[in-house]
Structure 1
Amino acid sequence: MSQNAPQTIDLLIEARWVVPVEPHDVVLEHHAVAVDHDCIVAVLPIAQARTHYAPQERVELGEHVLIPGLINTHTHNPMTLMRGLADDLPLMVWLQQHIWPVEAKVIGPEFVRDGVELAVAEMLRGGTTCANENYFFPDAMGATYRKLGFRAVVGLPVIEFPSAWAKTQDEYFERAGETHDSFRNDALIRTAFAPHAPYTVSDESFERIRVLADQLDIPVHLHLHETAHEVEEERKKSGLRPFQRMQKLGLVNDRLIAVHMTQLTDGEMAACAEAGVSVVHCPESNLKLASGFCPAEKLRKAGVNVAIGTDGCASNNDLDMFGEMRTAALLAKAVAEDAAAFDAGFALRAATINAAKALGLDETIGSIEIGKQADLAAVRLSDLETQPLFHIISQLVYTTGRHQVSDVWIAGKRKLAARELVDMDTAGILARTHAWRERIAAI
């Protein structure tokens, strides 16, 4: 090959706009992203890209913006099969009288597999390329995500009552270790400890989790301060707020992914910032269950890493990260009484690079940068509903719908092509979903 010959690469994506997220608030016009194997090797103007590279595949997106794949930082994706099952109920009634009783009768590897498949199809069609998962049968979840080529952090559940997954405390930890080992070297699947919540997990279990999370170098994914009731019950029981109890047990550190966090003092927010805690804001689930309002803007100003998640489809009722970004931004403004709060650029960060940081994956995904994995989503902005275009990032957050996602790649592999799922049996997914609907409705 001569000195000036173009370099052969796997893929060149040419877009009207590229929003790399890093650097912050930058919009690159008429740029291309060069991908070889599973990594981004260059981000440069289209004219230069055509001179420098000879791609095996060229994708031209003349009316699109290319963004990092969105990251759903808190999900219970098997529960997608319970979408709409018990709506318009408060959290504990919803959980104890409806969700847990149904789960007890249907939960198992098959339910988990089919729920994850349905969720992956929905997430891909909405530009999401990674999920932080929290549910039972993490072995089945991880195997399903791996089969589908979807990136996930799979939670290793710990709770103080018997379930179909484990009967005793020791069995929860034994199975957690086995599941972690089975995905130790996987390219797409990572693990995290997923103790359910302070009110369902003992001090002894939390102490074991703290030691093991350090040893295994994995995060701890925990529902925390979800409701005022939770905080008050813990205070009556132990004399401490749940966050104080986690501090006492050594869990408040840079491994903690604290989900919901609707009830916080200024001191607790400062402690989160100092310790490097990541907070996952789930605005639509919190609104639907009337759980309270996460002080997202105060957390941002305090220097806390704030990410966004949908929660599960049984309490949201979708996995739409575009909708979640918009709701997060709007709700934060109302809570802060500040129209400039949680601006569009920050909302996009909360669904990309901040989420990646929460999962310990910010060196791998979350932005369009050389050396990172090619997890990418193309969003068509030519629709009447997104015209005229003045500010691309604002339009992404405040106007764009997930139906405008046209193409998605994970680790350089196409997963959605012109709105069509690649290598997924859509008819089979729908058939299995209908069968689960009939089974659950009969309970």
Structure 2
Amino acid sequence: MPAPRYDALIRARWMITVENDGEVLENHALALKDGKIAALLCPADATEAQQHAAQVHTLDHHVLMPGLVNLHGHSAMTLLRGYADDLALMDWLNNHIWPAEGKHVSDAFVYDGTLIAMAEMIRGGTTTINDMYFHHGAVARAGIASGVRTFVGCSILEFPTGYGQNADDYIAKALAERRAFLGQERVDFVLAPHAPYTVSDETFKKVITLAEQEDMLVHCHIHETAFEVESSVAEHHQRPLARLKQLGLLSPRLTAAHMVHLSDDEIELAARHGVNVAHNPASNMKLASGIAPVTKMLAAGVNVGIGTDGAASNNKLDMLAELRLAALLAKVGTLEPTAVPAATALRMATLNGAKALGIDDKVGSLKAGKQADVIAIDLSALETAPLFDPISHVVYAAGREQVSHVWVDGQCLMQERELTTLKTDDLLARAEDWRARIQARNA
């Protein structure tokens, strides 16, 4: 008997490729082989191919689409979900989050928190996370255990924490932990200077040199609040982006998280230097940071993706919810209902995020030859009926509980809402253990 031509065949009612905005294929199938998309098959070819596939998934009420790319997160902070709510950013950081991290953050804390976050993200259709935190080996191990494509952002600051003493110490640990995971297909390491207000000029220069020498990406919070901008003017006599431009940080290697408070000239500057932006609508709203000028950035040619930020400043790692907010905030922020249409928001959360991470040739859209990072969303629920436009429903109507299947590199991480790489009961027990520990120590 001949070997199967395909490892799996996924037949779906609709397929959103994201290759072309608005493109929806009906009753097509994806053929998977060796972790990649071998072919997109029309209905007749899909029927013929079934006999040549080792597995066949028939999803008659589902939309098939690329996995979501979470362009900015702090996964381990899931263990601080709801810990300090309804506060301004600097109060939240200085008086609540950083003290709590100083007491509790460890390799075990980061591993368990990241595992829980990975499970939540898989259940919501996220297949790639651009993370930023401490204990980078723990983040990488959690990514490997879950199967999620993980960019491990190595936080760099000037002041001591429970993980490092100074900028040089953070950088040394980042490079050492990176070496331990070289060759892991779904894990990459990123230099993550925290923000202009926590990193010196000298350290930024070291990061720029290292990024070039080691061919690494850079991930940084920039222009998140008006206070950050005002403080930079007072201390450095220039706004943060101008300072970073002068230092040489602005380039296609950089993903700038938030970018809420920007002038038109700064938007043009970001576009000219190829800076990528991670838009975090829910976190920006919850911390009252403001509404990022996404419509202007897109019009200027800035590559804008979408992130959740951490669960401590958002409370859920729900990329479908972020999609909806990104589209709606753009409309209300400009008083223009045509700003950021559904297809644009979907591209931001998939192909744009992949481009920022330098992997848009591998993931972010459904195309033969790309890695099989794919999700299925069941649109048969009452909440998504009737259905006229699958793209509209994914962005404006569907909830993460409707994500039924998730594949990364062709590996099924969730089937019919059941995780295959992680155990929900185990993760719930870990979460409860950390809640009790944190509460007891704080008491």
How do residues 423-438 of structure 1 correspond to structure 2 at under 5 angstroms?
A: 423-438=421-436
TM-score when scaled to structure 2? 0.97
Q: 2:175 matched to 1:157?
A: no
Of 229, 241, 244 in structure 2, the residue corresponding to residue 246 of structure 1 is 244
* Partner residue, 2:15: 18
1:321-360 aligned at under 5 Å gives the runs: 321-360=319-358
Contact kept, 8 Å, 2:119 with 2:146, in 1: the verdict is no
Alignment counterpart, residue 126 of structure 1, candidates 124, 127, 139: 124
State the alpha-carbon separation in 1 of the partners of residues 43 and 106 from structure 2: 49
2:285 paired residue number: 287
CA–CA distance in 2 between the matches of 1:302 and 1:388? 36
Structural mapping, 1:30-429, within 5 Å? 30-52=27-49, 54-429=52-427
**Separation in 2, partners of 1:7, 1:118:** 36
Give the partner amino acid of 2:45: Q
**C-alpha contact 2:373 2:408 (8 A) present in aligned 1:** yes
- Shift, 1:6, TM fit: 9.4
Per mean C-alpha deviation after superposition, the further-off stretch among 40-49 and 257-266 is 40-49
Shift of 1:162: 1.2
Structure 2 unaligned blocks of 5 or more:
none
Could you tell me how far apart the structure 1 residues matched to 2:125 and 2:19 are? 18
Do the aligned partners of 2:258 and 2:279 also contact (CA within 8 Å) in 1?
yes
Hey, what's the Cα distance between the residues in 2 that align with 1:140 and 1:121?
Answer: 15
- Cα deviation for residue 156 of structure 1 reads 1.4
Q: Which moved more, 1:9-18 or 1:45-54?
A: 45-54
**1:132 match: secondary structure:** strand
C-alpha root-mean-square deviation of aligned residues, in Å?
1.2
TM-score of the pair, normalised by structure 1: 0.97
**How far apart are residue 180 of structure 1 and its match?**
2.1
Residue 91 (structure 1) shift: 0.6
CA–CA distance in 1 between the matches of 2:432 and 2:119? 15
Cα deviation, residue 149, structure 1: 1.5
TM-superposed deviation, 1:290: 0.4
CA distances 1:269-320 after superposition (whole Å, capped 9, x unpaired): 0111111111111010000000111000110111110100010000101000
Query: Residue 437 of structure 2: which of 419, 436, 439 is its match?
Result: 439
Q: Deviations over 1:390-410 (max 9, x none)?
A: 111011100010010001111
Report percent identity of matched pairs.
48
- SS in structure 2 of the partner of residue 395 of structure 1: helix
How many residues of Structure 1 are paired with residues of Structure 2 in the alignment? Answer: 440
**How far apart in 2 are the matches of 1:183 and 1:301?**
39
- Note if contact 1:194-1:222 (Cα within 8 Å) is conserved in structure 2: yes
State whether residues 7 and 52 of structure 1, in contact with CA within 8 Å, keep that contact through their aligned partners in structure 2.
Answer: no
User: Partners of 2:3 and 2:337 in 1: how far apart?
Assistant: 49
Contact 2:65 2:374 in 1 (8 A): yes
Q: Distance in 1 between matches of 2:405 and 2:4?
A: 25
C-alpha displacement of 1:47 = 2.2
CA distance in 2, matches of 1:330, 1:144: 33
- The answer to whether the Cα contact below 8 Å between 1:80 and 1:313 also exists between their aligned partners in 2 is yes
TM superposition shift of 1:148: 1.9
> What residue identity is the alignment partner of 2:321?
G
Q: Distance in 1 between matches of 2:394 and 2:146?
A: 27
Give the C-alpha shift of residue 7 in structure 1.
Answer: 5.8
Whole-angstrom distance in 2 between the partners of 1:188 and 1:93: 36
8 Å Cα contact 1:407/1:419 also seen in 2 = yes
Q: Does the CA-based 8 Å contact 2:405-2:417 persist in structure 1?
A: yes
Aligned partners of 2:314, 2:167: CA distance in 1, in Å? 30
The letter of the residue matching 2:17 is P
Deviation at 1:24, TM superposition (A): 2.2
Q: Distance in 2 between matches of 1:339 and 1:183?
A: 46
3-state DSSP of counterpart to 2:331: helix
CA-CA distance at 1:360 after TM superposition:
1.0
The residue identity in structure 1 corresponding to 2:90 is M
Distance in 2 separating the partners of 1:17 and 1:216:
42
TM-superposition CA deviations, 1:328-376 (whole Å, max 9, x none): 1000111111100011000000100000001111111111111111011
Deviation at 1:168, TM superposition (A): 2.7
CA distance in 2, matches of 1:184, 1:71: 22
Structure 1 gaps of 5+ residues are none
The one-letter code matched in structure 2 to 1:218 is: M
Q: Report the 3-state secondary structure (helix = DSSP H, G, I; strand = E; otherwise coil) of the residue aligned with 1:352.
A: helix
CA distance in 2, matches of 1:123, 1:182: 25
C-alpha deviation, 1:143, in angstroms:
1.4
Separation in 1 of the partners of 2:233 and 2:422? 48
Q: CA deviation at 1:175?
A: 1.1
